[in-house]
């Protein structure tokens, strides 16, 4: 069995949001079309408490996109975004979530960021997604959403490590692209064995 995994398509990552990804909203119609093809559709949602340690505002004299060392490694500092209960944390209003069977919230621990849908950034604390997928007999993921060079990338890499087959729907992801991070992300994902596929190919063959 396979599943469509929709990563963090939230208002703060779309144009006008606190951490807007260029053309982030353009993934929405593509994902909505793909949703109809899959029996299993899963969504992740960035869900930070106020004052999260990944926010630049939580650190004196730091600016968004500065990088600082934390216990679990280097941390990019972000503008405050996807704060629990805010409109920015809500899914994009045009995203069809009616067929979603699971909404996995991540980043809710104040001291640690969480890009991947499988592990928090310490690479030890599990979200439970791996067990959920295995219990349901899901072996292949089609990954979409935001951002290709952060949450999508880490989700893809961890899914591969966990033994899942991964396809990235190229026209259903967008990236932030900090200093070439988008090109590097594609190199890492494809190098790890993930496949790149277009939504048109899926629509015609699934």
**Given the DSSP bridges, would you call strands 2-7 and 73-76 parallel, antiparallel or unpaired?**
unpaired
Q: How many CA atoms lie within 13 A of 124 on its CB side?
A: 5
Q: What is the CATH number of the domain that holds 44?
A: 3.40.50.850
Q: Is residue 35 part of a domain?
A: yes
Residue numbers annotated as active site: 8, 106, 151
How far is it, in rounded angstroms, from Cα 83 to Cα 91? 12
Is pTM beyond 0.75? Reply is: yes
Tell me the two tokens of residue 119. Answer: 């592990």
Which residue range forms the structural domain that includes residue 106? 2-48+91-205
Please tell me the total count of domains within the chain: 1
- pLDDT tens for the chain, 206 residues long, are 999 999 999 999 999 999 999 999 999 999 999 999 999 999 999 999 999 999 999 999 999 999 999 888 899 999 999 999 999 999 999 999 999 999 999 999 999 999 999 999 999 999 999 999 999 999 999 999 999 999 999 999 999 999 999 999 999 999 999 889 999 999 999 999 999 999 999 988 86
Report the candidate in 29, 152, 37, 36 with the shortest Cα–Cα distance to residue 95: 29
Tell me the two tokens of residue 132. Answer: 């959920």
């Amino acid at each position: 069995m396979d599943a469509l995994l929709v990563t963090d398509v939230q208002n703060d990552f779309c144009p006008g949001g606190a951490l807007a990804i260029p053309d982030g909203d353009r993934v929405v119609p593509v994902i909505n079309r793909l949703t109809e093809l899959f029996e299993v559709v899963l969504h992740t949602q960035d869900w930070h408490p106020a004052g999260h340690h990944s926010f630049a505002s939580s650190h004196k004299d730091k600016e968004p996109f500065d990088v600082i060392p934390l216990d679990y490694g280097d941390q990019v500092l972000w503008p405050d975004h996807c704060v629990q209960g805010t409109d920015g944390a809500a899914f994009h209003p045009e995203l069809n979530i009616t067929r979603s069977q699971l909404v996995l919230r991540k980043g809710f621990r104040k001291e640690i960021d969480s890009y991947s849908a499988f592990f928090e950034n310490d690479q030890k604390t599990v979200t439970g997604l791996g067990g959920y997928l295995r219990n349901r007999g899901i072996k292949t993921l089609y990954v979409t959403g935001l951002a290709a060079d952060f949450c999508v990338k880490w989700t893809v890499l961890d899914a591969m490590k966990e033994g899942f087959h991964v396809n990235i729907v190229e026209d259903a992801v967008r990236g932030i692209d900090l200093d070439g991070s988008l090109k590097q992300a594609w190199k890492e994902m494809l190098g790890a064995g993930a496949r790149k596929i277009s939504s048109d190919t899926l629509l015609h063959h699934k």
